[in-house]
Amino acid sequence: MWLKLDESIKSININSATEIAGLETLLHAVFRGEHALACSYLLGKHILGLRLSQQSIATLTSSITKSSEFNAIWEDSKFKILITKEGDQVKVNSQNRWSVPLKFIATKGMPRSLLLAENLTDAKLYKHAAEHYRILNRQHYKIHTELRGGGGADTPKILDHEILSQNHFIYCITDSDKSYPTAPTNSTSKQCTEKSARSKWVTFHHSMDEREAENIVPKTILEDVFEQPEHKETLIKFRKLKDCKFSPDEWCYLDLKLGTPMEKSIISHDFWKDAVSKALTRGDIDATCYETRSCTSEDKESCKCHIAIGMGEKFLEHTISYLESQSSHASAQRVKTAENRKFWLDTGESIFNWSAATERIRF
């Protein structure tokens, strides 16, 4: 997270063990490469006059040397925290900006950034998106965040626990499960949105516009994953999906794991109209079902009418395994050529902004 020292810190009491401890704790966290710190040149020079550890002096010296660059980045950052001298509790200034006082840091320690997703696989995936954004946009800062899975429907409970513990700056991201753009989000996402909005802590919740994590993975990456010999059957399904020529927006709302039955299109006919028409031409939808906009089978469970087939529930795990076996720079170049890269990189940009940090300082 991008932090900035407020000018109020200029009046720090050299005899206040609490204020000095808070400042040292903050500077040591930046020294370890957990956050990025901006400060004005004059404020930094003033603080250097205090009796500080060698690690804190090295951190301040780095921020002073790059004060113009760091201050400009802090101003432009989507998420930012102002470190203040006054007060003892965190203050929410806006949805994307907070104030954290030195007294709080002295008492609780310096929180790290946290990426909370519905499961650990999703969290790992989103971190790859952030890394690809960093590389393709030539950002010279690194990503530092802890990853946590919320356990699906239990994610709001985990979010509650993290908010109450105040041990991490929390970026929470959940699937929407929407089958078309204007559909309502699921209960898990709604609860997380409400909890984040009420939170008096450094918390941000992002409910995906797309259906779920699988829908934003660049198609070029999926092609590379499924070309591995052990995924031959999945590759056949993936190529069938590509041959259907879904638009980028339609791809965002397909059930890529289990398949998208025709019944999903009934309440959103305008959005799925073209896809349904193509499925009818392919023979994936029964003509009578199409005319009546309902399943004519006596056993609804046996209805085979579908807009798209699924690729199986494990393909996201296979994607993570593949990305972890490749260099981030190589996979980023593949992302760059994907027709649906925007959805992936937009998510990556938001997470990168939350977890940006400078490199660990070495003497």
Residue 27: inside a domain: yes
What is the three-class DSSP state of 142? strand
Residue 127: inside a domain: yes
User: 195-210, pLDDT tens digit by residue?
Assistant: 999 999 999 999 999 9
Give me the residues of the chain with pLDDT under 70, please.
Answer: 293-302, 363
pLDDT on residue 290: 77
What is the three-class DSSP state of 166? coil
C-alpha distances in angstroms, 211 versus 59, 186, 217?
Answer: 42, 10, 12
On whether both 70 and 46 belong to a single domain, the answer is: yes
Contact in structure between 91 and 98 (CB atoms under 8 Å): yes
Q: What is the DSSP letter of 361?
A: P
On whether both 50 and 62 belong to a single domain, the answer is: yes
Q: What is the DSSP letter of 37?
A: E
Domain termination site, one of 78, 108, 138: 108
On whether both 162 and 122 belong to a single domain, the answer is: yes
Token readout for 245 is 């020529």
Number of structural domains (the chain) is: 3
Token readout for 102 is 């030195």
pLDDT on residue 303: 74
218: CB partners within 8 A, 6+ apart:
334, 335, 338, 340, 341, 344
Amino acid identity at 214: E
On whether both 166 and 228 belong to a single domain, the answer is: no
d(CA 227, CA 125): 19
Residue 131: inside a domain: yes
Residue 154: φ, ψ to 5°: -85, 0
pLDDT on residue 301: 61
Whole-prediction pTM = 0.94
Residue 137: inside a domain: yes
Residue 157: inside a domain: yes
On whether both 203 and 230 belong to a single domain, the answer is: no
d(CA 160, CA 57): 37
d(CA 321, CA 317): 6
d(CA 40, CA 43): 5
Contact in structure between 322 and 125 (CB atoms under 8 Å): no
On whether both 36 and 81 belong to a single domain, the answer is: yes
- Read off the CATH number of the domain in which 195 is found: 3.40.50
User: 316-359, pLDDT tens digit by residue?
Assistant: 999 999 999 999 999 999 999 999 999 999 999 999 999 999 99
pLDDT on residue 300: 56
d(CA 302, CA 11): 73
pLDDT on residue 298: 58
Strand order in 97-101's β-sheet?
36-38, 2-5, 80-84, 97-101, 91-94
For the chain, give the longest Cα–Cα distance: 83
Buried b / exposed e over 28-52, threshold 16 CB at 10 Å, is bbbbbbbbbbbbbeebbebbeeeeb
pLDDT on residue 296: 60
On whether both 151 and 208 belong to a single domain, the answer is: yes
What is the three-class DSSP state of 281? helix
**SS3 assignment for 82-121:** EEECCCCCCEEEECCEEEEEHHHHHHHCCCEEEEEECCHH
Q: Which helix (H) or strand (E) holds 68?
A: helix 67-76
Contact in structure between 269 and 293 (CB atoms under 8 Å): yes
pLDDT on residue 267: 76
Which structural domain range is residue 246 located in? 219-308
Residue with tokens 């699921």: 186
Residue 342: φ, ψ to 5°: -60, -45
Q: What is the DSSP letter of 7?
A: G
On whether both 152 and 192 belong to a single domain, the answer is: yes
Amino acid identity at 264: K
Residue 132: inside a domain: yes
On whether both 342 and 208 belong to a single domain, the answer is: yes
Domain termination site, one of 108, 134, 149: 108
Domain termination site, one of 91, 108, 125: 108
Residue 91: φ, ψ to 5°: -120, 135
pLDDT on residue 269: 81
On whether both 6 and 94 belong to a single domain, the answer is: yes
On whether both 93 and 150 belong to a single domain, the answer is: no
- Supply the Cα-derived Rg of the chain in whole angstroms: 24
On whether both 89 and 8 belong to a single domain, the answer is: yes
